Amino acid sequence: MEYTIKVEKNRPDIALYTDIVYKNCWHGFRTQNIPLKINFLRPYYNQWKWEKVPLLIWLEGGAWRTSSPARRIPELTFYAYSGYAVANVQYRGSSQSLWPAQIEDVKEAIRYLKVHHEHFGIDPKRICIAGESAGAHLAALAALTGGTDKFKTEKWEKVSDDVQAAICWYCPGDFSKLSERGEKEQGNYVAMPEQLLVNQKIEEIPELIREISPKTYVGDNIVPFLFFHGTEDHLVPLSCSKSLYEEIINHGGEADYYNVEGAEHASVEFSQEEIQQTMLTFLNKHVKKK
């Protein structure tokens, strides 16, 4: 049986480019190279003619110990179909290098993407950085210190690492609040993830808490923020992200905060359509139409 159908172009095609190395890091103890990678999604209607599109940078969680640039790719295709390029960025874990290597990697990835914006077909002035848990911490920190010399390395140092918006899921935005975890949650670890990140008891060093907390860098000219946090999250207390949100509001910044009722840390609620649509509305308002 032969048929003829007319297909409407209601959504773009998507190209996926995997294992793009943006940085090589030497691990002296293990005497090996650590290639840091980006997985990149790109929407297009004409594969021979790419128009510049806004960019969503996504940072995975993993308690700062590990960072996979691939786990959320199936879910992130939603934003690619909605007209955004998506860069899923890997950064060094605490077993590979101690703080501040993680935020230095993230900011270098931002500059890498900007330097190669023509190649990737992205608009370097329309970028939102987002992440979950440890990735949310780094996303918030990158957004709040963007365009400054804080945590900046020499690679492409003349290129700004500023972004235009930030989205954070269950964000450790104020490290002084991490001690509010219940005894059961703290008992699940020989050492808490933030201690492994700096190789010492961070709660005993106030100046280190300040350095590592995004809340410290809230000031003027804050980019818009969007927060989600599960009401049953016992790994990252609600107060961690609420404290950062309130600091942004107190400084006259623009931010929205969503308590996700009944959700635990990294639970399936965050993969649902309500979250996706809320994020897309935020992206369209603050990034897509700039």
Q: pTM of the predicted model, to two decimals?
A: 0.94
pLDDT of residue 148 exceeding 80, the answer is yes
pLDDT per residue as tens digits for the range 49-60: 778 999 999 999
pLDDT per residue as tens digits for the range 215-228: 999 998 899 999 99
The answer to whether 92 touches 36, Cβ cutoff 8 Å, is: yes
Q: Can you give the pLDDT at residue 114?
A: 98
DSSP 158-200: TS----SEEEEES----GGGGGGS-HHHHHT-SS-HHHHHHTS
Domains of the chain, with CATH numbers? 13-288 (3.40.50.1820)
pLDDT per residue as tens digits for the range 79-136: 999 999 999 999 999 988 999 999 999 999 999 999 999 999 999 999 999 999 999 9
